[in-house]
Structure 1
Amino acid sequence: MDIKGNLKIKPTCLLKKIGRETWQCFSVDSPAADILTADCAGIRQTWPVSQGQNDVFLPTTAVPREWLFESGERRVPVTQQPVRRQCVHIIQSSHHDLGYTDLPSEVVRQHVKNLEYAVDCTGRTQDYPEEAKFRIVIEQFWSLAAFMQDAPPAKQARMIELLRQGQFEVNALFGNMITEICGSTGLLASLQPAFALAGQYGIPVRCAEHNDIPGFSWGLARALCDAGVVMLSVGFPQYHCWGGMQLPPYWLEEDLLGHPVPGGFWWESPDGKRLLLWTDHGYGYTSSGSLPTLRSDLESFLDQGYPYTQIRYPVKGASMDNAPYIFAYADTVKQWNQEWENPRLILSTNSRFYQAILPELQELPVHRGEVPGQDYPMGSLSLAHTTAQNTRSHDTLVQAEALLALARGLAGVPLDRCLLDQAGQAILCYDEHCFGFHFPCGPAATAAKAEQELFALRAAGWIHAAAEKAKAEIADRLPSAADGQTLVIFNASQTAATGPVDALLREYDNLGQDLHPATDGYLKPAQVAGRWHVSPQNVYLDGAFVLADEAGLSIPFQIDEITSADEPEPYAGQRLGLGSGTRRYGFFENPAGIRKTLRFMAADVPALGWKAYTLKPAAAG
């Protein structure tokens, strides 16, 4: 309250033990150095105060009571209320941008170093009070994946120990995903890496975060609930309010929460499951280890009617994305708890916060639906070609997985799934929200764009290679035509299929070559099943053959040839050029078939199966 002469007195939530009693801190803003007194029912306290901010203390109360503060001629009545005991969960993390501050490849290396330092910090707090032991939350899984690949083995082992014990926590999602371009397979895939590590080492994974993205799809709720995630913390950037614009927000937080942020509600998935959705002011209140804004933030929460005893207070190690982890928060928490009795601070994790606040959430509202994404779904169209390629890879990866399983079952071939694991991670990296450099112009932005596109292109290349190897292993174990070529059509879906077939008369070479012993003693390279892709003879390229199914029935077909680099066909220019020469590199083969596509209708190809067709030269038919 501010009366006469601008003397301001404000009760705070801070409690301190003085002697054997607990005293409440009152914030005093005095216009001048003077003597301040406070009177209540015969009790009087007196303090000298300086000009500006001062702290004075009064005994706590179990019931409201009125104090009259006086300084010179200034008189300020203040109501003292009972103070609610609270616990502030200081949650240190690093906002994960796969790019933005540097090239994605360099950002990954930085995060590995940051996590190595964080592991080292835990040894420095072994003798600290439990509340001050060094803890972090790994915001997204991709940095931990890189750490478990590149960090020294001893630090990897220590990391697993810290995760098992709950001193460190890794969130469930692979990254801050652009959920609108993930699709259902992408949303499920974004959870698989964290839960795979959890299953391997017995690590609890219970929470997720979705930061720096103004929106998410409803399917995320279903994916998280089905995986057993109990809390999703979102840090939405309020772009509309930046720069003094004060435009209408894209979601009405107070309407959803029933009070200003921070707060939460139960987010109900389309099938009726629920998880706690918690939102704060962005994704970090401070980046200074001394917590300089904590006191003012707590006063703000009190003024806005924050209803809970547990407070989630996310922090970072620097005023930047991809910030390092810092040790200073441990010392600050230790010192604070030595000085103040309330609120207590604890270096915490999302799971610890959830467990602590859960008993207070009986009256929490329930909401269904989504917050439609804005800038990132639209921004993904800035790389329309690779975004389309990556969207297709969501499905072709699943098909390649099926083909690999079929090849193992039929041929007993121990095909390595490493290519598909690499492809799956690259798909997720592309769908992650950063999508480039923070300044979208110049050499840095161009380099970052190339690395972003490379995620999608690598994924497509690895999927293609794995699928080609699997199909060749199956095809080479089927009966072949004695007087023609055999073409095997695959259906990797779970239902029988009838539809058009587009078969290049010279398939694309795939990534990688395997070495096989040759009869004359040297190692021979091969791409698929110990061989290279087939280059059909001219009789097939000219269409002088009969296409027959497994029953011997003739199937109508046509052969289309690329004659211009501008034709709406995949890789039209390359196929035209490569197929227009003679022998490739002067020897080996004439890949003229790459220009030509065999098209026909395939009927009743069985689910998770194949169908063989024979190309018989017309003279033999």
Structure 2
Amino acid sequence: MSALTLAVLFAVVPILPTQDPESARETSLWTIGKRDGSGAEFALAPDRHSEFTRDGCFAVDRSDPARDWPYVQPGPSDAWAGGRSHTFTVAFGLVAAPTSAGTCRLVLDFVDTHEHQPPRVSLRLNDAEASLRLPAGGGDASIHGEPGKGRPHHAELAFPTAALRAGTNLLQITTAQGSWLLWDHLALTAPAGLAIAPVEGTVIASAQTSPVVHRVGGEPRRLVHASVLHFGAATHARIAVGDEGAIGFDLDTGLAQVDVPTRELDAPTTLPLAVTIGEREVARTAFTMRPARQLTIYLLPHSHTDIGYTELQTRIEQKQVDNLLAGMAAARRTAEYPDGARFVWNVEVLWAAELFLERMPAAQRGEFFAAVKAGQVSLQGMYLNELSGLCRPEELLRLFRTATTISAVTGVPIDSAMISDVPGHTWGMVTAMAQAGIRYLSTAPNYIDRIGDTLVQWENRPFWWLSPSGTERVLVWIPKLGYALSHAIRTLTPRFVDDYVAELDRSDYPYEIAYLRWSGHGDNAVPDPSICDFVRQWNADHAWPRFVIASTSTAFRALEERHGEQLPEVRGEWSPYWEDGAGSSASETAKNRASAERLTQAEALWAMLDPGQFPVREFEAAWRDVLLYSEHTWGAWCSVSDPNAPATREQWDQKQAYAAQADLQSRRLLARVLQQPRAVAFGGAPGAIDVHNTTGWPRSEVVLLSSGISDAGDMVSDVDGRPVPSQRLHGGELAVLVEDLAPFSTRRLLLARGPAHAPKAARVVANGDGIDNGLLRALVDVRSGGIVELRATGIDGNLIDTASGHALGEYLYLVGDDLAQLQSNDIVLLSIDDGGPLVATLRVESQAPGCHSLVREIRLAAGQRHLELSNTVDKQRLVARSYTRRSGKEAIHFAFPFAVPGGRMLLDLPIGAVRPESDLIPGSCRNWLTAGRFADVANAEFGVTWVTLDAPLVEVGALSATLLNSQTDPKAWRSAIEPTQRLFSWVMNNHWHTNYRAFQEGPVTFRYAVLPHRGDDTAEASRFAIGLSQPLLADLAGASPPIDVPLLSLSSPDVIVLGLKPSDDHRAWIVRLYGASGRDADTTLAWRNADTKVWLSDTSEQRRTPADGPIRVPAWGIVTLRAE
């Protein structure tokens, strides 16, 4: 029956008080159970679900609910019930068929459904079909005997009386997806005049051909799964397909399920199926049998790596080392098994392999190398299961760097990667994988929670994901149930294989290669070599499908070789979902972002000042801690339900330590390269300061010198005696204006006692509620403390959209998810911290809900065209009885509504850029997005670049981050982002129900900048944002004169240097060029040493091909160079 017809036959109606079924010309045909919210009258009630063995089959006027209708109907996610769909059947007779058109109602009442995986239910009344997705339930207490703790649900479905027939009628209710439901009551009403008749005789309820091909005596054979309903005395019967030999089976009152053998066919054929008792045929039907697909299913064993969650992180380290040992042992034990049945251990993340090589003795390391060469151990190219949207560009590249270093040691290339649990990945990950030689990505997200419609869009739908530049691609493939199939079904069984292949057939899966993950029983699980025996026996007994235990690379290569040209190409951002949890530890998230930027600067500074002494191991350790903080496991499973539990505190202490260690190490590495032997004096003058530009373009900006290095005085000059503008600020720092500092170069300044030099440009002035430097003027709203007016020279009008109801930088606080309860701060106190002439700072203090205090600083410098905002939230711990209730959920946002008519928004990514909606692929998160460094809102004439230094989460157009706790319904998520010039920085939340933090407290600063501009230049926006993230560095001068000639400069403004570092072998510089303008561009490189030779390279840092002349850099793409 067509989908259009079915939509007319059945429709879920609003929940209304049910009419009396005996009234209004309706009659009750039948009722099963009592509508009392308990289900106590049903079989196995109230808590014996573990004894479930048979699906419900109820014959009206014959059956007993306490015997024939279980209180629970399992779903395919319930391993305890076989991990498959279950069909409950109601059989009822009618004296006569309806004689006139009318409507019947099926009334369904449920005690509860599974909390995280409520089922989708398919219903079939004779030839009419319908589908019903049930809402999430109240938890597991109801299935364990406490129905009062369930979340009841009522539904009614309407259909025409034409669906009914004289004689026996069948209603079949199937849990097609998800987990269990608990029955309370079901009933069928019909127009008056229809009468129930006894259910008699024998009926073939269904006949479905198994998609599996058996080997029987060397011949291919199929099975027909027949469901036979019998209402009468027990007897013996026979059943046969066409003229094939019949098989006998016993019939008792109720449902009998029989597998009927038949031969394989080479074309679709309609065949008869008949049941006989003695010589009399008692039931007949016809079914269509199609040839079975010749399918190969690759099975990928691995252990999902959660660094924490179930146990302390240090224990997980040893677990994964032990898992690698066990995987190698299983591979050795099965080495003589037939091809396809030998165990292969996929090391999900290289962190585990790195730990193994660090901790194991030489003998076991040798065994490891041998196993990798033999294909018994397959290394995957991602270092950790990362929240990629949090990564800075070099951090994202480092995520795959270990793949190149460890493959150099093993001699076996790594061309595949796994990531588990995490839904969605930042677009630049494709570029980062390609830079490391990785072609295949097995992504297997959590299949339950907070994943939007990821699985709806992409489960079993492989595709080529194109990089932002369009010049690279990786093959992406999500298997059934993500990484957790083995968690759900526990063991492979013939019934599972049958159901799985049938599911592929129903979904019109077009390929002859499929794959499944097998991650054992739980997270960080030990290897499960039992699959080898199953596969060995299965392949011996069956022609199709064939199983192959394999590596990710083997499976994906098979798909590429067979179907690669058929696979669709997809281009866009797969905006991730779980990065929102980083807002539960806003201070550490900001700290880790800064550490990554600092390490990038430190690498550049070592390349400039002392490349031969570059401390490779120390940088690796620092980057490791940065990556470990961005890894998806934040804390204990009980972090929200029991935030004071020892497990919660211990795991958070370790997670927090990753960010703290990265911060400490990055500062030490930066200080170490700066701490060259110091000059007591330079040219006879004390107070010499060196200022370093670690970026690839000239810089003009205000540098803040700490009081410790600027105590020589406030008067600043260059080495030639030319005055340099400066100003001592209220915090003790000395602000110094450095102009036109060449790329990758150093300038020396001299500090002395005396009055500071004033800037040449118009001075900046702050008054009671405004700030102005002649180029930019901002006005603060004395009520909200936000900026309500921003005007720039050369651009007409106010750049703030006050009609939005919000001011720029306005504080917004929400408890729960009802936006009607949104709060802002109390009355503000305005004061001037710095009055110019070089720097002016307005201070805005207020009390604010959720905080001990809120302090916002607005800063503007003379000659600058951008405004800087610094918002310090002294967070007050939210006190709640339960952090899973709405009253225990909170969020803090800052508003940024821009007035750029017709402006299009562009969000910076770690590598690439995305226009919300138009560049988002299906399955993307739209409720929030992660911004790399900036957003740009521009029309053809002007725009605004907005920079966020500390907070990565943004809401585009509306406050849409209001999804609390577990979210299992794909329809609950935002489906589209309309064109807008408004965004919100979502800085803090505790919206999760597990893993992330339940509360946070203490001061956290969130820094922003706003740059109005003419035209639309994304490369300039990138330079501006990177400049703020990687400011000019200043320290006491070294003993040697500074080198003010650029180490490297580029000819094209469309290309920027994203990273510069000494090579790990200390023989070259590694340069990463980035097409930041969004246009393909050619650039030449000018080196300080004209004899520098350049090769194209990649993450491996090895020579690839010589790069003579201009370098072509694709739009949004990366080119890595090795220069010697």
TM-score when normalising by structure 2? 0.45
| Deviations 1:448-483 (CA, angstroms, capped at 9, x unpaired) | 22211211111111111111111112x548984544
Find the residue that maps to 1:131 and give its secondary structure: coil
1:452/1:50 Cα in 2 relative to 1: closer, same or farther (>3 Å)?
A: farther
Find the residue that maps to 2:438 and give its secondary structure: coil
1:390-539 equivalence runs, <5 A: 390-409=592-611, 414-440=613-639, 441-442=643-644, 443-473=646-676, 476=678, 480-506=682-708
* Residue 386 in structure 1 maps to residue 570 in structure 2: no
* Residue 116 in structure 1 maps to residue 325 in structure 2: yes
* Residue 291 in structure 1 maps to residue 492 in structure 2: yes
The answer as to whether partners of 1:484 and 1:617 remain within 8 angstroms in 2 is: no
The answer as to whether partners of 2:204 and 2:285 remain within 8 angstroms in 1 is: no
User: Which structure has greater helix proportion?
Assistant: 1
Find the residue that maps to 1:118 and give its secondary structure: helix
1:54-203 equivalence runs, <5 A: 54-72=258-276, 73-203=282-412
The answer as to whether partners of 1:97 and 1:322 remain within 8 angstroms in 2 is: yes
The answer as to whether partners of 1:289 and 1:332 remain within 8 angstroms in 2 is: no
The answer as to whether partners of 1:34 and 1:71 remain within 8 angstroms in 2 is: no
The answer as to whether partners of 2:328 and 2:345 remain within 8 angstroms in 1 is: no
* Residue 377 in structure 1 maps to residue 579 in structure 2: yes
Of 547, 550, 553, 1:345 maps to: 547
Give the Cα separation in 2 of the matches to 1:118 and 1:237: 23
The answer as to whether partners of 2:634 and 2:655 remain within 8 angstroms in 1 is: yes
The answer as to whether partners of 1:289 and 1:329 remain within 8 angstroms in 2 is: no
Give the Cα separation in 2 of the matches to 1:68 and 1:35: 17
Amino acid at match of 2:619: L
1:90/1:58 Cα in 2 relative to 1: closer, same or farther (>3 Å)?
A: same
The answer as to whether partners of 2:628 and 2:658 remain within 8 angstroms in 1 is: yes
The answer as to whether partners of 2:372 and 2:410 remain within 8 angstroms in 1 is: no
Give the Cα separation in 1 of the matches to 2:476 and 2:585: 31
Alignment correspondent of 1:282? 482
Amino acid at match of 2:703: V
* Residue 598 in structure 1 maps to residue 734 in structure 2: yes
Give the Cα separation in 1 of the matches to 2:392 and 2:508: 39
Alignment correspondent of 2:532? 330
Find the residue that maps to 1:175 and give its secondary structure: coil
| Deviations 1:391-427 (CA, angstroms, capped at 9, x unpaired) | 1222211111122223334xx5x35332211111111
User: Which structure has greater strand proportion?
Assistant: 2
Alignment correspondent of 1:528? none
Give the Cα separation in 1 of the matches to 2:413 and 2:241: 54
Give the Cα separation in 1 of the matches to 2:357 and 2:283: 64
Give the Cα separation in 1 of the matches to 2:428 and 2:694: 25
Higher RCO (Cα < 8 Å, 6 or more apart): 1
How far apart are residue 617 of structure 1 and its match?
6.0
1:367/1:544 Cα in 2 relative to 1: closer, same or farther (>3 Å)?
A: closer
Alignment correspondent of 1:223? 432
1:427/1:307 Cα in 2 relative to 1: closer, same or farther (>3 Å)?
A: same
Find the residue that maps to 1:102 and give its secondary structure: coil
The answer as to whether partners of 1:289 and 1:328 remain within 8 angstroms in 2 is: no
Find the residue that maps to 1:158 and give its secondary structure: helix
Further displaced range: 362-371 or 553-562: 553-562
Find the residue that maps to 1:69 and give its secondary structure: strand
User: Where do 5+ consecutive residues of structure 2 fail to align?
Assistant: 1-123, 127-169, 171-201, 277-281, 755-1124
1:617/1:323 Cα in 2 relative to 1: closer, same or farther (>3 Å)?
A: same
How far apart are residue 107 of structure 1 and its match?
1.6
| Deviations 1:516-551 (CA, angstroms, capped at 9, x unpaired) | xxxxxxxxxxxxxxxxxxxxxxxx73x557543221
Amino acid at match of 2:408: G
The answer as to whether partners of 1:13 and 1:84 remain within 8 angstroms in 2 is: yes
Amino acid at match of 2:535: V
Amino acid at match of 2:529: F
Of 737, 748, 768, 1:612 maps to: 748
The answer as to whether partners of 1:7 and 1:76 remain within 8 angstroms in 2 is: no
Give the Cα separation in 2 of the matches to 1:252 and 1:457: 33
Find the residue that maps to 2:426 and give its secondary structure: coil
How far apart are residue 385 of structure 1 and its match?
1.0
Give the Cα separation in 1 of the matches to 2:539 and 2:679: 71
How far apart are residue 124 of structure 1 and its match?
0.4
Find the residue that maps to 1:208 and give its secondary structure: strand
How far apart are residue 505 of structure 1 and its match?
4.0
Of 566, 573, 578, 1:363 maps to: 566
Give the Cα separation in 2 of the matches to 1:70 and 1:326: 43
Amino acid at match of 1:386: E
Alignment correspondent of 2:249? 49
TM-score when normalising by structure 1? 0.79
| Deviations 1:414-452 (CA, angstroms, capped at 9, x unpaired) | 353322111111111111112222221223222222211
Further displaced range: 354-363 or 337-346: 354-363
The answer as to whether partners of 2:719 and 2:748 remain within 8 angstroms in 1 is: yes
Give the Cα separation in 2 of the matches to 1:109 and 1:481: 58
User: Where do 5+ consecutive residues of structure 1 fail to align?
Assistant: 243-248, 508-539, 563-595
1:417/1:617 Cα in 2 relative to 1: closer, same or farther (>3 Å)?
A: farther
Give the Cα separation in 1 of the matches to 2:679 and 2:226: 86
Amino acid at match of 2:484: G
Alignment correspondent of 1:517? none
RMSD across aligned positions (CA): 2.9
Q: How many residues align structurally?
A: 534
1:574-593 equivalence runs, <5 A: none
How far apart are residue 275 of structure 1 and its match?
2.4
1:545/1:312 Cα in 2 relative to 1: closer, same or farther (>3 Å)?
A: closer
Amino acid at match of 2:557: Q
Find the residue that maps to 2:517 and give its secondary structure: strand
Find the residue that maps to 1:308 and give its secondary structure: coil
Give the Cα separation in 2 of the matches to 1:34 and 1:224: 63
